[in-house]
Structure 1
Amino acid sequence: MKINLKDIFLILVGSLFVAFGTYFFLAPNHIAAGGTSGIAIIINSIFPSIPIGLLMMGMEVILFTIGIIVIGPVFGGKTIFCSFSISALVLLMGKMYPNIKPFSNDILIQLILGILICGLGMGIVFNLNASTGGTDIIAKIINKYTQISIGKSVLMADIAITIAATLILGVNKGMYAILGVILNSTIIDKVILSLNSYKQVAIISNNGENIKKYIVNELSRSATIYYAKGAYKNSNKEVITTILDRKQFLKLKNYIKVLDDKAFITVNDVNEVLGEGFTRII
């Protein structure tokens, strides 16, 4: 398996977000918003002497095996790395800041902050064809074999945990957990969507050759050429189309503004691009 240092770094970043949100915001308020972290919070509320990080680590092994068999070794390897990173980070935070207490009496604000942080981290991890382990592996399997989005798959996988939280931690905490699961699934989908958003750009210009060279040589992208006829002057025109990320689009727009301020440009948002030069088809 080829090791991608960028992927490892981003998985660590995502793991840090999940660990931070869980330990400092969700766990002190006993909000079991799904996942093995939710199960660990429930068990820890009954047996406080058992560290949450240790509980999370102990529950991952079976689900790891399932993930490797069903989804593949690359997913399994990344997920093992991510999950143990989260568990280790939670354990480390527990050593550095033991017996952490809620920051305030406002559980709702802490729930929203915790879920925002965790959802951001989980979105980063899912976007790299990995997961944070636990029930997220089940969500990834649901997503692979159905048309259900990752966020909604996470929601389905975590419902049982929130029901358990309601029975064990009380209706009040259980309702917060249900809200947390719904927020989490929405945030994950939004993060994945934003990380995979591109601009489809169509350009008509009298300086088409220079624009094509700029796209290929400076932006390291390709382009597709179409030929069209204008209705007003009945003249033949070359239409250059390309797909760029947001930063590349801004560079191209600024270049065309200087080169040909009379160029005609249309821009469409693209939520996902699969294939060579973009996201690998999996």
Structure 2
Amino acid sequence: MKKLLKEYIIITIGIIIVATGLEVFFFSNNIASGGVSGLALVLNEVLGVEPGIVMIVCNIILFVAAFIFIGGNFGIKSIYAAFGLSFLLSAVEKIYSPIVVTNNLVLVSIFGSVLVAMGTAIMYTQNATTGGTSIIAKILSKYFHIDFGKALLLSDSIVILLAIYTFGIELGLFGLLSVYLIGTLIDKFIDGFNLSKQVMIFTENEELVANYIINDVGRGCTVFYGKGGYTKKQNCVILTILSRAQFIKLRQFMIKNDSNAFITVNETTEVLGQGFKSILDT
């Protein structure tokens, strides 16, 4: 229950960040940065269809696809995120709209994209999106092994073409720039959130170090045995995957208790199974 509550709290934080980027930067300057919201903006301008109706119909169709191709867990979380975002945007528009921080379209594109990408990446780490073309991107990412950000850029392209036709080249191009930035930044943020340390420790104190990693750091480890190419001595190599905070804790321990050890550290952007992200969520 605590794990589930934590997941939904993190998703809620992502919703708030995305809503801020959309309401403060994109909506107030009529920039369609892709997605169902961009499509709704275009159809409202061309056909007079209410954006809310367009978003509801599109999301219903896409959520059905999410349940079929991705799974119920993803669908439930994304329904919460989608309706949470819609409710928050609606509430903000009724109380504070319009919120205009700047009319500089370059600043709008940059800061709006950063916020939307950050919020989307936060939700993605919890296996959820705000619906819309994010669901299409998730399906493409799962079945065609395309990075999520690139898949989102691909699925948003048609919306941008419609925006260029509807709102003119200038606003359409800024929308295209925003979509590109969002797609690129999402992958960067996801890599940053998932960043772990792959640590290899060459030591003569196998039990001391291994027991500390298991009992105090709270991670597993694998022990290899070999022989030094120069010294010709038998040695032990301990391999473990840690978060940044756990690595700092281990490093302090090694400084105090095994300062002669040889340690290599590599950054890894994704770890699956054994106490990390489930391989079934990929």
TM range (shorter): over 0.9
Counterpart residue number, 1:78: 77
Aligned pairs for 1:210-249 (under 5 A) are 210-249=208-247
Name the TM-score, length of structure 2 as normaliser.
0.93
Aligned pairs for 1:136-147 (under 5 A) are 136-147=134-145
List per-residue Cα deviations over 1:191-222 (Å, max 9, x = no partner): 11111121111112233322111100111111
Distance in 1 of aligned mates of 2:229 and 2:243: 31
- In 2 relative to 1, CA 47–20 (structure 1 residues): closer, same or farther, beyond 3 Å? farther
Aligned pairs for 1:141-160 (under 5 A) are 141-160=139-158
Distance in 2 of aligned mates of 1:11 and 1:162: 27
Aligned residue identity for 2:40: A
List per-residue Cα deviations over 1:70-97 (Å, max 9, x = no partner): 2111111011011001101101111220
Aligned pairs for 1:26-45 (under 5 A) are 26-43=26-43
- Are the counterparts in 1 of residues 206 and 236 from structure 2 also a CA contact under 8 Å? yes
Name the TM-score, length of structure 1 as normaliser.
0.93
Distance in 1 of aligned mates of 2:209 and 2:3: 36
Aligned pairs for 1:168-247 (under 5 A) are 168-247=166-245
Distance in 2 of aligned mates of 1:178 and 1:74: 32
List per-residue Cα deviations over 1:33-68 (Å, max 9, x = no partner): 111121233345568995x66753453111111111
- Cα RMSD, aligned residues only: 2.0
Q: CA deviation at 1:105?
A: 2.9
3-state SS, counterpart of residue 214 of structure 1 = helix
- In 2 relative to 1, CA 54–7 (structure 1 residues): closer, same or farther, beyond 3 Å? farther
- Are the counterparts in 1 of residues 11 and 81 from structure 2 also a CA contact under 8 Å? yes
- Are the counterparts in 1 of residues 140 and 151 from structure 2 also a CA contact under 8 Å? yes
Distance in 2 of aligned mates of 1:38 and 1:208: 58
Aligned residue identity for 2:273: G
Q: CA deviation at 1:174?
A: 0.6
Aligned residue identity for 1:59: C
Distance in 2 of aligned mates of 1:53 and 1:252: 52
Counterpart residue number, 1:273: 271
1:93 paired with 2:113, answer no
- Are the counterparts in 2 of residues 57 and 87 from structure 1 also a CA contact under 8 Å? no
- Are the counterparts in 1 of residues 45 and 166 from structure 2 also a CA contact under 8 Å? no
Q: CA deviation at 1:130?
A: 1.6
List per-residue Cα deviations over 1:138-193 (Å, max 9, x = no partner): 11111111121100110010000000110001000010011111101111101111
3-state SS, counterpart of residue 201 of structure 1 = strand
Q: Which runs of 5+ in 1 are unaligned?
A: none
- In 2 relative to 1, CA 2–199 (structure 1 residues): closer, same or farther, beyond 3 Å? closer
- Are the counterparts in 2 of residues 42 and 165 from structure 1 also a CA contact under 8 Å? yes
3-state SS, counterpart of residue 266 of structure 2 = strand
Distance in 2 of aligned mates of 1:42 and 1:3: 40
3-state SS, counterpart of residue 265 of structure 1 = strand
3-state SS, counterpart of residue 59 of structure 1 = helix
- Are the counterparts in 2 of residues 56 and 87 from structure 1 also a CA contact under 8 Å? no
Counterpart residue number, 1:25: 25
- In 2 relative to 1, CA 60–120 (structure 1 residues): closer, same or farther, beyond 3 Å? same
Number of aligned pairs? Answer: 280
Q: Which runs of 5+ in 2 are unaligned?
A: none
1:7 paired with 2:1, answer no
- In 2 relative to 1, CA 57–2 (structure 1 residues): closer, same or farther, beyond 3 Å? farther
3-state SS, counterpart of residue 279 of structure 2 = coil
Q: Pick from 114, 121, 124: which aligns with 2:122?
A: 124
Distance in 2 of aligned mates of 1:142 and 1:75: 15
Q: CA deviation at 1:18?
A: 0.9
Distance in 1 of aligned mates of 2:103 and 2:88: 26
- Are the counterparts in 2 of residues 57 and 83 from structure 1 also a CA contact under 8 Å? no
